[in-house]
Chains A and B, each alone.
Chain A
Amino acid sequence: GVVGGACSDVKQDVFEVNKFNKRSKLMEILREDANGTIVFVETKRGADFLASFLSETEFPTTSIHGDRLQSQREQALRDFRTGKMKVLIATSVAARGLDIKNVKHVVNFDLPNNIADYVHRIGRTGRVGNNGRATSFFDPDHDQALAADLVNTLAGSDQTVPDFLRQLSGG
């Protein structure tokens, strides 16, 4: 792909999802295949809420965020890598600097507020010749400012741009 851009061997999907429909949409996606999925969320408590809910209902899930000790982050990462935990919920800040590569599926439950972070996140999937997958929940009440950059990034990496996103970006 373009240097500094998103790789075209990552299949990128963007769905229009309102804040309180995100949890059921995530579960729908995980039911297809939960293994090796990292889910990015905005808040520490949101990460733990979601990890607890998923673990108790359908998918063994662990979490990483800024209140965790280094040893706890490493343990969570280990549980994810070995497959003991199918899903890892992470806040952006906590995931920065952690060696999380070759993830099967990156889900942006909450989108970052800038496109560089988006490209960085989806760069964690689809390495070493494997096809990766990135799915993002676009909340029109929250993510409007990212629309135009997201359209450019999708178009620049040979991805289908959803109509709702093209309209929101004003093009």
Chain B
Amino acid sequence: SYCSTSTMTIIEGNYREVRDEYPDIDAEVRAILLSHAQNGITISSIKDEYRKQTGNTFPLHDNVTDFLLTIPYVTAECSHTGKRIFNLKPNKENSHLLEMVLNQKQRSDYSS
């Protein structure tokens, strides 16, 4: 319908603007997911971590799941408690790091 088409257009346009303004955002998000890969990470923690690592507020407020799933290698799952947890598949540049994180000592908390 006309309505859903125009919504799609607006969303895609926003993502393009986000990527124009934050050209490193895909690599930054993957780096956050990689450093939390043992347990995965929620959207609110991704936002906190993004601010901690870059000094900027995460540039999206709505449709964050849709945006994250336009970033190559990003995964999402609904946990048994219903929480939406994001994680990462390896690529050829970061697989040596992801493998180390997944097999390192298990962290008991979510602190830095």
Contact = CB atoms under 8 A, between A and B. Distances in A.
B62 interface: no
A50 B49 CA distance: 13
Contact of B27 (A19, A53, A63, A67): A53
A52 B97 contact: yes
Interface string A36-66: 0000000111101111110111001011000
Most buried by B among A52, A68, A72: A52
B73 to A, nearest CB: 10
A79 interface: yes
Given A43-B112, A67-B104, A48 B96 contact: no
Given A46-B53, A49-B53, A56 B112 contact: no
B13 interface: no
A55 B35 contact: no
Decide if the interface of chain A is mainly helix, strand, loop or mixed: helix
A49 B31 contact: yes
Contact of B35 (A20, A48, A62, A75): A48
B21 interface: no
Contacts of B35: 45, 48-49, 52
Contact of B94 (A46, A56, A79): A56
B27 A62 contact: no
Contact of A52 (B34, B55, B56, B112): B34
Contact of A48 (B56, B93, B101): B101
Interface string B88-112: 0001011011001101110100001
Q: Which 4 A-B pairs have the closest CB atoms?
A: A20-B55, A52-B31, A48-B35, A52-B34
17 contacts: A19-B55, A45-B35, A46-B53, A49-B31, A51-B97, A52-B97, A53-B31, A56-B27, A56-B91, A60-B93, A62-B96, A67-B104, A68-B100, A69-B104, A69-B105, A72-B100, A85-B96
Interface of A: 19-20, 43-46, 48-53, 55-57, 60, 62-63, 67-69, 72, 75-76, 79, 85
